[in-house]
A = this chain, B = another copy of it.
Amino acid sequence: MASKEESGKLEWRISVDNGTTEILVPKSGPSKRIFLWLKGLVMNVIVERIAKFMRNAWRIGADDPAKVVHCLKVGLALSLVSIFYYMRPLYDGVGGNAMWAIMTVVVVFESNVGATFSKCVNRVVATILAGSLGIAVHWVATQSGKAEIFVIGCSVFLFAFAATYSRFVPSFKARFDYGAMIFILTFSLVSVGGYRVDKLVDMAQQRVSTIAIGTSICIFITVFFCPIWAGTQLHRLVQRNFVKLADSLDGCVAEYLKKKDVEKNGIEDEETNMKLQGFKCVLNSKGTEESMANLARWEPAHGSFNFRHPWQQYVKIGAAMRRCAYCLENLSICMNYEAEAPDQVKNHFGEACLKLSSASSKILRELADMMNNTRKSSKMDFLVFDMNSAVQELQETLKTVPVRTNNAKEDGTMTMSLHEVLPVATLVSLLIENAARIQTTVEAVDELANLADFKQDSKKKTGDTNVKQPPLSS
């Protein structure tokens, strides 16, 4: 009891204390303080987060206006399709099923033409297939009298199992994943729904027609309002990656060889770093390339691409480029080792390395040009020849290098220990390997040029027709 009383007193005293302090500060004090604290909280936590999100969102739109255009197109498509609800004659035609048109637009509309086409075709074909099958199963079920529920239940279970399983087969999944889902959905709705709905065929017909309306609106808007083609995006991606590889290669080698002499400059450094890191985009673009190639084959002819453009070849080119990027990733080893490599070693190999790396990057830039103009290259053979002679030269340099043995330490001539040469030797062998990998990339692009019937380079026709053939590379 005593303790209770005491605590009571204590509380009372505290409240008095609070009262006293309240009187001492201006009336608005605590409420103002709470208001300020709340304001601070809101400003710091919520507003700050929203502001960050908005800044982020703004930058995404500014970097790629096509995304904003896509959003506008979605809004437009939805507004168009909702006209079916507003206009009485149209609404009377399809009734409450107009809902399916809206749903189709929301689900099917994708940011590029290929994805939209693929989803539209999948949706329409799967709906028709599953709808007919569902009606057939429903008919069988009604004929079987008391076993109706059993027949429907079993067929739903079996078809759902089969369709879900097919989604695990990679070749099927790549093209018909969405179709399999729609198949399960429609089949269940029709066969199970048929148990309660009387005019099943009418319902199915109406649903197919509303889906047709939805898909046609999607296709119309996606193709005729600022179309974004998956194929064009893939083509540009590969082209940009060639430039990035070339920049990285030039940057890495130059950086390695000149690092000690040149003073670092903050702004320049950041730009150089961006260029040096370019190969990382190539390392990470496997998934994008594969999905784009899958979508691009749904697209009709557009720009300089025919309907049967060899999109799968881009995946092969991408794989070849990635192998070059692995080499570049490992060139960074040499950059890390840098402290160990004395200038005299660098000087000895510098010229030959720079020659090879610039010959290699010239080829990469020429490949980017080929992609950009969709033309065959007239000078590619010579560039490859140049690169191969640079490789030869570098190997010669290796053979003539004066390396200090343990016994010859007191010799007066300029010599290097193997330990000192190691980082440069790694650079050299990576550059040589990279040259070989670039050559396979050139072959992959040449194959694309043949498959896709790239035009001959006009320079070849007008200019030097009887130039001497480069000797075969050893």
Contact = CB atoms under 8 A, between A and B. Distances in A.
Interface string A66-83: 011011101110110010
A471 to B, nearest CB: 22
A15 interface: no
A91 interface: yes
Contacts of A103: 185, 189
A402 interface: yes
A56 B401 CA distance: 56
B399 A419 contact: yes
A393 interface: no
A426 interface: yes
A56 B153 contact: no
Contacts of A67: 165, 168
Contacts of A399: 417-419
A56 to B, nearest CB: 6
A189 B81 CA distance: 11
Number of copies: 2
B188 A82 contact: yes
B185 A76 contact: no
A86 B401 contact: no
B408 A408 contact: yes
Interface string A317-346: 000000100110110010011000000000
Given A86-B195, A107-B181, A430 B426 contact: yes
Interface stretch (A154-162, A233-241, A260-268): A154-162
Interface in A95-110: 96, 99, 102-103, 106-107
Interface in A44-70: 53, 56-57, 60-61, 67-68, 70
Given A330-B326, A402-B405, A425-B426, A168 B60 contact: yes
